[in-house]
């Protein structure tokens, strides 16, 4: 029986919108590296009766009755997280990655403390101390950067750490295409007397699958989302390592208190159920194969793009993502490539590149990756084909430039999108993308 049959009867309008989103995902190439497709089992757990329950507190220490099974599902998720990452403590209640990161500050810092993180325009994350975030306003944020070649500047990080003696140092990013040097940063943090917090939101699944180095031996605290490469629902986790407990035996309790009652109320039990199911999948041998294939696909895609004349930041990738640098034809052109590819059925996102000559609103790069394509079963052969398609679109938009007057940009981009709807290259590519997607079905008869 169709699992959404009741919805189709009860609310045809909402059902129609959800069906349209399913068709968008089925019939397009999802290449935003922070997105993925969960299994039908995870979807079912997310839509389970756990959505009805309220469970303030932790297993065995709830403020509401009737939580015996909520305790069981949360304990299951915790134990699977500890096993997957090899850590002694895990908290699976954060609503997402940003709340998890805020809880770390709340647990180990006081307002005004000095912190260090990867500079946002260089590929870092808002919650690592960027000026627009509360983390950059409540704390004395000292950002570190990448070098001209796009790799982290370890010499600068060490110099800044010893000069400013931060309370904590973040390692992790939202747009960094090389493997994180956890060991080197762990030594720097130790030398500076700082907590090292590894935000592995993007590479968590690769870490579990052995396709990326683990931070467990080098960091005191680990945060992550549970979607992206981990391939679960949209949630978060915080883990404390043996190194963290050795530094502060009460660190796990501080983290737990920071989440509840410090920042959150009751956990989303249906999300916890989905996390438990996803982690169960991650612990199976086939997930290790998946993680390895994600990286193989990313390397193949990067190689194909460069072979076809597309410039990439650092000239390649070590993980699941890459950054296209479009500055050769002028600054701020990421919006053109994003829009053109979307019309053709390929979803990517405009993104800043290191030393971007344009603004974050109209950046000069595009971020793309392979987790969702790999979930569908695509491999290196498909990556080579997709690389040619993207390169063709890069060439197709070369003549477009952002107006010098800011007031004219919005209208120009809108007109560009309308013009591209009738573009022959876009429409030809849309048909080819659809043909490829039909060979790699996603959910099949989920709503049909």
The CATH number of the domain covering residues in 296-439: 3.90.1150.10
Catalytic one among 26, 74, 122, 199? 199
The structure tokens listed for 351 are: 């993104």
Question: Do 44 and 233 form a contact (C-beta atoms < 8 A)?
Answer: no
This prediction's pTM: 0.96
Contact 271, 234 (CB under 8 A): yes
Partners of 349 in the β-ladder:
367
pLDDT at residue 249, rounded to an integer: 98
Q: Which residues pair with 115 in a beta bridge?
A: 141, 168
Pair 31, 324: CB distance under 8 Å: no
Torsion-angle region of 267 (φ positive above 0: left; ψ -120 to 50: alpha; else: beta): beta
Task: Supply the pLDDT for residue 4.
Answer: 76
Written as tens digits, the pLDDT of the chain (448 aa) is 366 788 999 999 999 999 999 999 999 999 999 999 999 999 999 999 999 999 999 999 999 999 999 999 999 999 999 999 999 999 999 999 999 999 999 999 999 999 999 999 999 999 999 999 999 999 999 999 999 999 999 999 999 999 999 999 999 999 999 999 999 999 999 999 999 999 999 999 999 999 999 999 999 999 999 999 999 999 999 999 999 999 999 999 999 999 999 999 999 999 999 999 999 999 999 999 999 999 999 999 999 999 999 999 999 999 999 999 999 989 999 999 999 999 999 999 999 999 999 998 999 999 999 999 999 999 999 999 999 999 999 999 999 999 999 999 999 999 999 999 999 999 999 999 999 999 999 986 554 4
Residue of 19, 27, 35, 54 with catalytic role: 54
225 catalytic per annotation? yes
At 445 the pLDDT is: 52
A 10 A CB-CB count for 158 gives 18
Choosing from 127, 174, 225, 272, which is the catalytic residue? 225
246 labelled catalytic? no
Give, in order, the Cα–Cα distances in Å from 99 to each of 105, 141, 206: 10, 18, 22
Q: Residue-wise over 73-110: b if at least 16 C-beta within 10 A, else e?
A: bbbbbbebbeebbebebbbbbbbbbbbbbbbbbbbbbe
Annotation marks residue 105 as catalytic: no
* Contacting residues for 208 by C-beta, under 8 A, at least 6 apart: 84, 85, 230, 282, 283, 287, 291
What per-residue confidence (pLDDT) applies to 1? 35
* CATH pick for 46-282 out of 1.10.30.50, 3.30.565.10, 3.40.1390.10, 3.40.640.10: 3.40.640.10
Is 370 part of the annotated catalytic residue set?
A: no
Q: What's residue 376's pLDDT?
A: 97
Q: What is the pLDDT of residue 323?
A: 98
Q: Which pLDDT value is given to residue 5?
A: 82
Range(s) of the chain covered by CATH 3.40.640.10: 46-282
CATH 3.90.1150.10 domain position(s) in the chain: 296-439
Would you call 54 a catalytic residue per the annotation?
Answer: yes
Apex 127 CA angle, 125 and 128, nearest 5: 70
- Which of the following is catalytic: 62, 158, 231, 234? 234
* Pairing between β-strand 221-225 and β-strand 236-240 as defined by DSSP bridges: antiparallel
Task: Based on the residue annotation, tell me whether 159 is a catalytic residue of this protein.
Answer: no
pLDDT confidence of residue 448: 44
């Amino acid at each position: 029986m169709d699992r959404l049959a009741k919805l189709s009867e009860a609310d045809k309008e909402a059902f129609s919108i959800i069906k349209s989103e399913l068709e968008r995902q089925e019939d397009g190439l999802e290449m935003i590296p922070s997105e993925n497709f969960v299994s039908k089992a995870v979807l079912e757990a997310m839509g389970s009766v756990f959505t009805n329950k309220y469970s303030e507190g932790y297993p065995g220490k709830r403020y509401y009755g009737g939580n015996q099974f909520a305790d069981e599902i949360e304990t299951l998720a915790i134990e699977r997280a500890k096993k997957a990452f090899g850590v002694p403590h895990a908290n699976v209640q954060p609503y997402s990655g940003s709340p998890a990161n805020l809880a770390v500050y709340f647990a180990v810092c006081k307002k005004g403390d000095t912190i260090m993180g990867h500079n946002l325009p260089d590929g870092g994350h808002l919650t690592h101390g960027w000026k627009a975030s509360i983390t950059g306003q409540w704390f004395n944020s000292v950002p570190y950067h990448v070098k001209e070649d796009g790799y982290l500047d370890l010499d600068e990080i060490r110099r800044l750490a010893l000069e400013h003696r931060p309370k904590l140092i973040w390692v992790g990013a939202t747009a960094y295409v090389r493997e994180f040097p956890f060991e080197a940063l762990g030594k720097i943090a130790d030398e500076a007397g700082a907590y090292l917090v590894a935000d592995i939101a993007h590479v968590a699944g690769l870490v579990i699958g052995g396709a990326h180095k683990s931070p467990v031996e080098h960091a005191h605290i680990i945060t992550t989302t549970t979607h992206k490469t981990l391939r679960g629902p949209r949630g978060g986790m915080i883990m404390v390592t043996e190194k963290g407990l050795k530094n502060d035996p009460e660190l796990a309790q501080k983290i737990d208190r920071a989440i509840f009652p410090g920042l959150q109320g009751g956990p989303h039990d249906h999300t916890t159920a989905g996390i438990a199911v996803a982690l169960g999948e991650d612990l199976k041998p086939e997930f290790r194969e998946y993680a390895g294939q994600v990286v193989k696909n990313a390397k193949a895609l990067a190689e194909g793009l460069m072979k076809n004349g597309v410039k990439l930041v650092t000239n390649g990738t070590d993980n699941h993502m890459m950054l296209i640098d479009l500055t050769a034809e002028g600054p701020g052109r990421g919006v053109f490539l994003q829009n053109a590819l979307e019309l053709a059925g390929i979803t990517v996102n405009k993104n800043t590149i290191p030393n971007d000559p344009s603004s974050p609103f109209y950046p000069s790069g595009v971020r793309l990756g392979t987790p969702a394509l790999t979930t569908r079963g695509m491999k290196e052969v498909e990556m080579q084909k997709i690389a040619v398609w993207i390169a063709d679109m890069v060439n197709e938009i070369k003549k477009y430039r952002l107006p010098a007057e800011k007031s004219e940009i919005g209208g120009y981009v809108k007109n560009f999108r309308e013009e591209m709807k009738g573009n022959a290259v876009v429409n030809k590519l849309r048909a080819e993308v659809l043909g490829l997607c039909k060979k790699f079905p996603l959910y099949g008869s989920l709503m049909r």
